[in-house]
Structure 1
Amino acid sequence: MGFEKFGRKGFTSQTRVSAFVDYLEKGELCATRCPACGRVYFPPRADCAGCLGSGLEWAKIEGNGSLVSYTRVNYGPAGFESDAPYTLALVDFNGVKVFGQLNADVPETAVRVGMLLQPAVVTLPGGQVTYEFLPA
């Protein structure tokens, strides 16, 4: 199975970072890290934009991150229409910024820049996998 299992709506089945889905299925959210220069990428990349190196390694995103920014989405794009309204969040995990949805049970009035969040892997109907953020 390839990358088509990621998210609510798969737009591609093949990618050089399809192991991202394998890690999600094991309950792990991962970025990629360049062993040559140490840069970390999320979303994952197959090649380093800094030193142009290949062979990036997988690095877990874990622990608590700090909410940097967020927005409320009232009209979702294709595949996300039924989720709206929802909150998209940018969370900093020790210098690695990760973008994703905030858990729907978090009230909009409780969302604050700087709040601590943790990643959680979610299995969707049909076996699709994704991730979201929960309060720490």
Structure 2
Amino acid sequence: MRKIILCCVAAFMLSSCESLESDKVKEGSSWKLIEKKVSIGGPAEFTPVSESEYIQFLSNSEVIKSNGWCGEGRERTVIYSKDGTILTNCNGSGKLLFTIEKDIMIIRNPACIEACDYKYKKVSGAPAPGN
């Protein structure tokens, strides 16, 4: 009985891993910023954004952000790893974490003491960042 339970648990975990893999970064995928959650104290909720911002993942482990990762158009192209890390060179904070579930991506800055989350929606036919 114990072996059957362990086999069932292992099968479930493997099937979960496969579904998570399919939700990982797709090379060439484009994402549009739709909401942000930033707190300077107290609770925060996602709120819609008015700015137009796009991110595109490239095949060479690079990721482009339309307005730059460090603001003001600086550091537009940086590298990412499929484990959910984007490495920037912005003011020493250098590391952003992202998760993808279906067509929603959340990018979080772990250096923030309060909430610092940005929600993107996968888009097709989006302008390439910087165009």
TM class, shorter-length: under 0.3
Ranked by relative contact order (alpha carbons within 8 Å, sequence separation 6 or more), the top structure is 2
- Tell me which structure has the larger Cα radius of gyration: 2
